[in-house]
Structure 1
């Protein structure tokens, strides 16, 4: 019986460690996703500004 309890306790500890590792991975990936979204938004703003500038500078405007 004691071996069974030890085995269950070890399994529980292993699952806790796995859970913590997965929670950290989720936090890391969420931070990376947020950073990429921010970079994408900034890049879109730069592209929009360039397109606006091109449409003002080119004769006849910019046509898509």
Structure 2
């Protein structure tokens, strides 16, 4: 059977581990927020670039088939 000192040590280690996990979780949440904002920004830039390319494609002349000349 575990002694009171052993149990106290184990509880203290668990509390330290809990604090480490809380700090890690907070850091991961901050990273996730930053990455999500970056993704949204890149998605917006991609959509703007796609719109510009589509506008340029609309301005290109349509090729008409040429008849074979003898």
Q: TM-score, normalised by structure 2?
A: 0.75
Q: CA RMSD in A?
A: 1.5
The structure having more radius of gyration, on CA atoms, is: 2
Tell which has more relative contact order, 1 or 2 (C-alpha 8 A, sep 6+). 1
For residue 39 of structure 2, the aligned residue among 28, 33, 42 is 33
Deviation above 3 Å: which 4+ runs of structure 1? none
Gaps in structure 1 of 5+ consecutive residues: 56-60
Q: Which of the two has greater helix per residue?
A: 1
Q: TM-score, normalised by structure 1?
A: 0.81
**Aligned length in residues:** 58
Counterpart-to-counterpart distance in 2, 1:62 and 1:12: 68
